[in-house]
Amino acid sequence: MSKKIQLDVVSDVVCPWCIIGYKNLQKAIEELGVEKQIELQWQPFELNPNMPAEGQNLREHVAEKYGSSLEESNQARINIAQRGAEVGFTFNFFEDMKIVNTRDAHILLEYAYEKGKQTELKLALFSAAFTDQKDVSNREILLAEIAKIGLDSGEASARLTTQGYVDQVVDHERYWQGLGISAVPTVVFNRQSALSGAQPVEAYKQVITELLTEG
């Protein structure tokens, strides 16, 4: 099998189900042994594009957006942490955790893609947000993560203040939303079909196998 599959993973770095879904996708690819046939690109999606710089307490945000009670919020965190543990990812939820604006993170993910290190940065930002309890809207934190993976933090910093790169992210977000994507994670296969939500390993394996074996 020499076919290539383009996977576009539409997600946000403050979406817990996005890292769970990716871990299952990654496992599906590894179990099939088709790593060399997969071309994966992360695509931007902002869960809260109008979130102000100071962010909002996560519990307050969830209560406002979904009407969740404190008990429901606690149970959701327990469930997510358990799902994370199952795929080898640690969620360290804490009382003062905030939901933040992530546009700068997406600008830097576009930069990292150009440098061949997009997945490395994406995973670092998931860990920063959920495991290390860091504010991924803070530019100093973002640039520190850039430096950790061996990219030029000065070059990356310039991207954040260049309007063209800001507009590029917004255009990409609109493109995917224009295709009807309104929830993340969404994995798009060869720009033709998609699976939304954190799907189990077998679901990803089925679609990838079908694409690689079809005439």
Which pLDDT tens digit goes with each residue over 18-65? 999 999 999 999 999 999 999 999 999 999 999 988 899 999 998 998
Sign of CA dihedral 46, 50, 51, 54: positive
3-state secondary structure of 195: strand
Task: Classify residue 138 as exposed, middle or buried by CB count within 10 Å of its CB (0-12, 13-18, 19+).
Answer: middle
| Residue 75 maps to a domain | no
CA torsion angle for 163, 165, 166, 171 (degrees, to 10)?
A: 120
- pLDDT of 215 higher than 60: no
Cα–Cα dist 30/34, whole Å: 7
- pLDDT of 2 higher than 80: no
| Residue 62 maps to a domain | no
| Residue 85 maps to a domain | no
pTM, rounded to two decimals: 0.95
Band (pLDDT 50/70/90 cuts) for residue 214 is confident
Domain limits for position 126: 5-49+102-213
Average pLDDT over residues 98-121: 97
| Residue 80 maps to a domain | no
| Residue 158 maps to a domain | yes
Which pLDDT tens digit goes with each residue over 148-199? 999 999 999 999 999 999 999 999 999 999 999 999 999 999 999 999 999 9
Return the CATH number at 118: 3.40.30.10
Which letter does DSSP use for residue 91 in this model? -
| Residue 94 maps to a domain | no
Average pLDDT over residues 71-86: 96
In sequence order, what are the beta bridge partners of 188?
8, 194
| Residue 175 maps to a domain | yes
Percent of the chain at pLDDT > 70 equals 99
| Residue 203 maps to a domain | yes
3-state secondary structure of 7: strand
C-alpha distances in angstroms, 93 versus 77, 131, 172?
Answer: 7, 8, 30
Total domain count, the chain: 1
Task: Classify residue 194 as exposed, middle or buried by CB count within 10 Å of its CB (0-12, 13-18, 19+).
Answer: middle
- pLDDT of 69 higher than 60: yes
pLDDT of residue 65: 87
Which tokens is 167 given?
A: 């507009």
Average pLDDT of the chain is 96
Question: Which residue type is seen at 108?
Answer: L
Cβ(25)–Cβ(94) under 8 Å? no
pLDDT of residue 53: 83
